[in-house]
Structure 1
Amino acid sequence: MFSLTVCDHVMIAHSFKGEVFGPAQKLHGATYAVEAEFRVPSLDEHGLVVDIGLARAELRRALDSFDYENLDVLPQFAGRNTTTEFMAAHVHGLLAAALREGRLGESGKRITGLKVVLRESPVAWAAFEGPVG
């Protein structure tokens, strides 16, 4: 399996519901380092997994949908605890849709797996991994 990873970051504010979250029930901020790893069983005729420029652009487009926002007030997150795990799955869904819609070019149509990692600190991160179909 071949892979290509692109990275970016996003800054958000949010709060959680539930005693399990302790002080994180209050509004707080987070800066996530975000990694998107695209996987394919074989390289295309150009020796690529996917066009790195298109991959970076689509990751940025996904992150722009909530960068510098308070997630508590965005309709797409209404009633959800926007945990790091949940947000990794959300970004995965946005990138998987971009792949299905052909926004990552011809080589993007060959991608069979995608892993998204959100690093909230040097010692803690979460990921979501799955097929793109």
Structure 2
Amino acid sequence: MFSLSVNDHVMIAHSLPDEFFGPAQALHGATLAVEATFTSDQLDEHSVVLDIGQALQMLDDALAPLQYANLDEHPDFAGRFSTSEAIAEHIGTSLSVSLADRPDIGISVHLRENPRAAVSYTVVNRP
């Protein structure tokens, strides 16, 4: 199995309005470190999983609508909590759409909320 990982970060604002989330119920900002990993059983005709520049651009495109956004007002999070897990899923889904013509490439998103906590999401059902 081969893999290619690229990373960036996204700055968001959101609240998690439920007692379950303690102090995170209030509106707050977060800077999330994001790593996207693309996997394949075999390399393509150029001996790569995916072009690094293309992978970076896809991650940039996936993060752009979230950058400096208040996720409480973001239509893609209407009716659901914008937890780190949900944000990772959102990014993974966006990357999946960008790679709709390459179903052979696996996608996972690793999102670090702080130095002690991270979540991951692996795209299972590709469009």
TM-score tier, shorter chain, comes to over 0.9
After superposition, residues 75-90 of structure 1 pair within 5 angstroms as 75-90=75-90
Residue 36 of structure 1: aligned partner: 36
SS in structure 1 at match of 2:29: strand
- Asked if the contact 1:112–1:131 (Cα under 8 Å) also holds between the matched residues in 2, the reply is no
TM-score, structure 2 as length reference: 0.94
Give yes or no for contact 1:6–1:37 (8 Å, CA) kept in 2: yes
What pairs with 1:51-62 in structure 2 (closer than 5 Å)? 51-62=51-62
Letter in 2 for 1:78: A
2:114 aligned with 1:114, yes or no?
no
**Offset, 1:66:** 1.0
State the partner residue of 1:66: 66
SS of the equivalent of 2:16 reads coil
Could you say what the CA RMSD is over the residues aligned between the two structures, in angstroms? 1.2
Matched residue, 1:105? none
* Ranges in structure 2 where 5+ consecutive residues have no aligned partner: none
* TM-score relative to the length of structure 1: 0.90
Equivalent position SS for 2:123: strand
Query: Taking every aligned residue pair, what percent have the same amino acid on both sides?
Result: 50
2:104, 2:99 → 1: CA distance? 8
Number of the residue aligned with 2:123: 130
Match of 1:106 in 2: none
Q: Distance between the aligned counterparts of 1:30 and 1:49, measured in 2?
A: 31
Deviation at 1:130, TM superposition (A): 2.7
AA in 2 matched with 1:126: V
Give 1:62 shift: 0.6
Query: Which amino acid letter does the alignment assign opposite residue 117 of structure 2?
Result: A
**Aligned letter for 1:83?**
T
Q: Tell me, in whole angstroms, the C-alpha distance in 1 between the residues paired with 2:30 and 2:115.
A: 13
Q: Secondary structure at the match of 1:69?
A: coil
- Per-residue CA deviation, residues 102-124 of structure 1 (Å, 9 max, x unaligned), is 4xxxxxx2643111011011110
Structure 1: runs of 5 or more not aligned: 103-108
Mapped partners of 1:77, 1:31: distance in 2: 18
